[in-house]
Structures are given as C-alpha cells and as structure tokens.
C-alpha cells in the first residue's frame, strides 16, 4: 500500500469516528442521522434524480436489495442511537465496527460457505474483544464480571452491528446493479422513506430539530461525506482488501475520541478490547 493510499484510508477512518462523536454529542441522535440523510438527498437530487429514476424504470428488480438495505441500515442507525443513549462511545463504537466480520459468518450459516482457519481465528478474536470491552481490569477476579454485569449499551451495540451486517449483504447485491453514485443516491432516498416514519413517532418533532440544529446537521453531513469520499479515493489507488483492513483502525480512533472528548473511564482496557476487535476483522478481511 502506498503512503497516499494509507493516509487517505486512515483519514477516512478518523472522520468516520468523528461523526460518531457528533452523534454521541446530541440527545436527539436518531433525528441527527435522519436529518443528515435528508440533507444529502436534497443536495444530490438536482444532479442524480433523473439518472436514478431512469435506472429504476429500466431495472425495477433493484428495488428488492435496495429496500432490504434501507430497512437494515435504518435499524442500524436506530440501535446505534439507542446505544449512545445507553452508555459510553468507547463501548458502543468498537462493537459496531465488527459488523463486516459477521458477513462471512452469515455465509457459513445460511449459504453453506466454508470458513477458513483464519476466518475462525478472526471471529474468535472479535468475540473475545467484545467480551473484554466490559472488563474493568485484567485480573482473574474481574474476568467473569461481564457475565454478571452486562453494560446496558452492549445489546443495542450488538444489534446495530447485526443489522449493519445484514444491510451490507443487501447493499452488495444492490450496488452490483447500478453505478455507485446513482445507487448511493437511491439508497439514501430509500432510507429517508424508511426513517422519517420511524422518527415521526418520537417525542420531539423532526422538523423542529432540523430548524434548531441545522448548523450541526451540516457539519455532521460534511464529515460523513468526507469520510465516504476519502475512503473511495483510497480505493482507487490500492487493493480493496488492504483498504478495508486498514480502515478498521476506526475502532481505535473511536475509543481515543471517546476518552478525549467525553472523558470516559477504563480507557486502556477498552483500547485493548478495541484492538482485538480490529485485529479480528483485519484477519478475516485479509486471510478469511
């Protein structure tokens, strides 16, 4: 991997962790995610609405994977918001980054695909990392503590990772049927159609939130789009296996930002656990 590619992928990973800081930093977290998607759809509609409509009319079969991806990603964002409302970013974010490693597991369970020895080892590292993130020390006395005292943020974080992995499978099927930018626009539109009704049942109105926090929404949208673009520019100058693996350092960036911005506790233990999760995903990406 060349130095420019490495720097682009690392920047993308840092920016991805950065917009999660912004999401953690507001109370109306799901509203923020929905608002970002609405803002992006509004910004891209003048350029991509006609190509998207044309593609949809000529290839209506894309609606099945598109709808699946939109529903699963909407649930991912919902549980991510619940997780951040329930506990620390240093617990929630690293767990959600394990989602790509679940995809080969679904292939094994539902499609009969074989897992290599490296795949099994990677999954074991991830599971140990998820378990270890609840530890408050590495002493033998504390080793069973996560079984007795589950952190309330753990389950929504695991649910977020689960739904993201399912969304990734549907997303892969959909993106094979359209040009990347056109498909990405259609996916954002579909997600808005799913997420707005979900947000409608919540206490504060989505419209009021967008008016009150419009500067915050624009900032978060810019950081998320920058993460998206730097990663794809990195892909242009390196192999996808290397890029996807290096980007898993976002788990470490997420923990570091959680410690610095929110002053969350048990930093070295959570950094160690995040390192195990990132290592497991990298093993699966590279050799699984």
Confidence of residue 240 (pLDDT cuts 50, 70, 90): low
Beta carbons within 8 Å of 12's beta carbon, 6+ residues apart:
227, 228, 230, 231, 234, 247
Report helix, strand or coil for 204: coil
Query: What is residue 149's predicted lDDT score, i.e. its pLDDT?
Result: 64
For the stretch 152-173, pLDDT in tens is 888 999 999 999 888 888 887 8
| For the ranges 35-44, 161-170, 275-284, the one whose mean pLDDT is highest | 35-44
| For the ranges 151-155, 177-181, 210-214, the one whose mean pLDDT is highest | 210-214
pLDDT at 147 over 60: no
Report helix, strand or coil for 147: helix
Report helix, strand or coil for 32: helix
CA dist., res. 210 & res. 72, Å (int): 24
Mean pLDDT of all residues belonging to the chain: 85
- How far separated are the first and last CA of the chain, in Å rounded? 19
For the stretch 66-86, pLDDT in tens is 999 999 999 999 999 999 998
Nearest to 157, CA basis, from 9, 12, 273, 40? 273
> Between 229 and 288, whose confidence is greater?
229
Tokens 């990347």 belong to 180
What are phi and psi for residue 80, nearest 5 degrees?
A: -65, -45
Query: What is residue 75's predicted lDDT score, i.e. its pLDDT?
Result: 96
Name the residue ranges covered by the structural domains of the chain.
Answer: 3-287
Poorest-pLDDT segment among 88-92, 133-137, 219-223, 265-269: 133-137
Name the CA radius of gyration of the chain, rounded.
Answer: 19
Beta carbons within 8 Å of 89's beta carbon, 6+ residues apart:
20, 21, 24, 254, 255, 257, 258, 262, 264
pLDDT over 70 percentage in the chain = 90
Query: What is residue 146's predicted lDDT score, i.e. its pLDDT?
Result: 55
Query: What is residue 51's predicted lDDT score, i.e. its pLDDT?
Result: 94
Nearest to 286, CA basis, from 259, 248, 234? 248
> Between 243 and 47, whose confidence is greater?
47
Q: For residue 248, how many C-alpha atoms fall within 13 Å in the half-sphere facing its CB?
A: 25
């Amino acid at each position: 991997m060349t130095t420019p590619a490495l720097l682009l992928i690392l920047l993308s990973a840092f920016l991805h962790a950065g917009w999660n800081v912004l999401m953690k930093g507001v109370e109306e977290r799901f509203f923020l995610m929905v608002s970002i998607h609405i803002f992006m759809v509004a910004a891209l509609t003048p350029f991509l609405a006609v190509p998207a409509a044309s593609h949809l009319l000529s290839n209506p079969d894309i609606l099945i994977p598109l709808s699946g991806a939109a529903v699963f990603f909407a649930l991912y964002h919902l549980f991510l918001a619940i997780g951040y409302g329930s506990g620390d970013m240093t617990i929630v974010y690293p767990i959600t980054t394990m989602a790509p490693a679940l995809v080969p597991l679904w292939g094994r369970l539902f499609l009969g695909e074989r897992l290599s020895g490296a795949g099994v080892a990677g999954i074991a590292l991830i599971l140990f990392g998820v378990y270890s993130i609840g530890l408050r020390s590495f002493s033998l006395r504390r080793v069973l503590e996560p079984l007795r005292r589950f952190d309330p943020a753990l389950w929504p974080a695991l649910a977020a990772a689960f739904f993201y992995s399912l969304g990734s499978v549907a997303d892969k099927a959909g993106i094979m049927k359209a040009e990347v930018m056109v498909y990405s626009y259609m996916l954002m539109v579909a997600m808005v159609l799913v997420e707005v009704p979900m947000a409608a049942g919540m206490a504060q109105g989505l419209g009021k939130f967008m008016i009150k926090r419009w500067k915050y929404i624009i900032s978060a949208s810019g950081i998320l789009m920058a993460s998206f673009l730097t990663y794809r520019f990195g892909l242009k100058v390196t192999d996808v296996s290397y890029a996807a693996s290096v980007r898993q350092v976002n788990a470490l960036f997420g923990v570091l930002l959680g410690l610095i911005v929110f002053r969350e506790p048990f930093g070295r233990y959570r950094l160690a656990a995040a390192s195990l999760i990132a290592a497991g995903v990298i093993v699966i990406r590279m050799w699984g």
